[in-house]
Amino acid sequence: MSGEERPEEKQGWFARLKAGVSRTSSALGENLTGVLTKRKLDEETLDELEEVLLKADLGFAMADRIRDRLSMGRHDKNITAADVRAVLAEEVAQVLEPVAKPLELDADAKPHVILVVGVNGTGKTTTIGKLAHQFVKNGKTVLLAAGDTFRAAAIDQLKIWGGRVGAEVVARDVGADPAGVAFEALERAKEAGTDVLLIDTAGRLHNKGDLMAELAKVVRVLKKFDPDAPHTVLLVLDATTGQNALSQVQTFREIAGVTNLVVTKLDGSARGGIVVAIAEKFGLPINAIGVGEGIEDFEPFDAHDYARAIAGADQENDAAA
């Protein structure tokens, strides 16, 4: 892609991102405007502002920090929603910048094994398809493994994605051993010299013990074939779950040793601030975010774009800056 095309692509993605998180930014904007009708900043106003930030799932640490920033030298002075949004964008970007990292492949690993985990319904299989599309677009060979053998729909969906992006899919019947599927896929990927192996998994948290044993077995089998596998354990989170996403990160870190995150369904949520709370609490790399079902509605995570989008920054002004 030429350098001239990149700014348009970037601007196009920011427009989709801003539209995707509009429910979050609109809710924040309306609530901030409602709080600031008095226009004078006092302790009562600060309390109400903090409550607005907490309702957006930004987390206690972020709400406290913004409160402290706003209170410095501003007591009994006029303040607008735009003032608060500017501070919010700065603070959010500062928290997100260290964790906004692309998913990097180990050039020495053939294949680089990515074990994809998460609760059912978060968009794991779709995320695998979109990641596969990006890898293929960048000239990588990809193999997909249908390790969620509990659900026929997950197997069928992965096969559809495989056909769509041009990636082979290793699958067995419903009820097959997920570790067996993973082993077969890794064996096939090794023989073919495949660049990337993406393994789907089940996510039945209501039976945590079984899930833990199943994932542990998958990892154990992979390591028998390749001691360094999986090279990435990617947790897919659904933004609409809000604060529940925090407990999911904790649980899957314990179960599967999560190393990286992807956040989906930001377009369906007014709780986009949860990304900030997750970053602040866990510090895990956030590789990408999804703001729609389309194959292009999925991009590497950019801290400053995201901060401006949820704070309600103006796209034209930002592009000109």
164 is in an annotated binding site: no
290 is in an annotated binding site: no
292 is in an annotated binding site: no
Contact 75, 96 (CB under 8 A): no
305 is in an annotated binding site: no
309 is in an annotated binding site: no
Contact 181, 146 (CB under 8 A): yes
267 is in an annotated binding site: yes
Contact 291, 19 (CB under 8 A): yes
At residue 84, what is the residue type? V
297 is in an annotated binding site: no
For residue 200, give the nearest of 254, 142, 243, 239 by alpha carbon. 142
182 is in an annotated binding site: no
For 187, other C-beta atoms within 10 Å of its C-beta total 12
244 is in an annotated binding site: no
121 is in an annotated binding site: yes
149 is in an annotated binding site: no
For 153, other C-beta atoms within 10 Å of its C-beta total 12
118 is in an annotated binding site: yes
Between CA 237 and CA 314, with CA 245 as vertex, the angle to 5 degrees is: 75
204 is in an annotated binding site: yes
Contact 218, 179 (CB under 8 A): yes
99 is in an annotated binding site: no
264 is in an annotated binding site: yes
Contact 285, 261 (CB under 8 A): yes
Q: Would you list which residues are annotated within the binding site for GTP? A: 118-125, 200-204, 264-267
Q: Which residues are annotated as a binding site?
A: 118-125, 200-204, 264-267
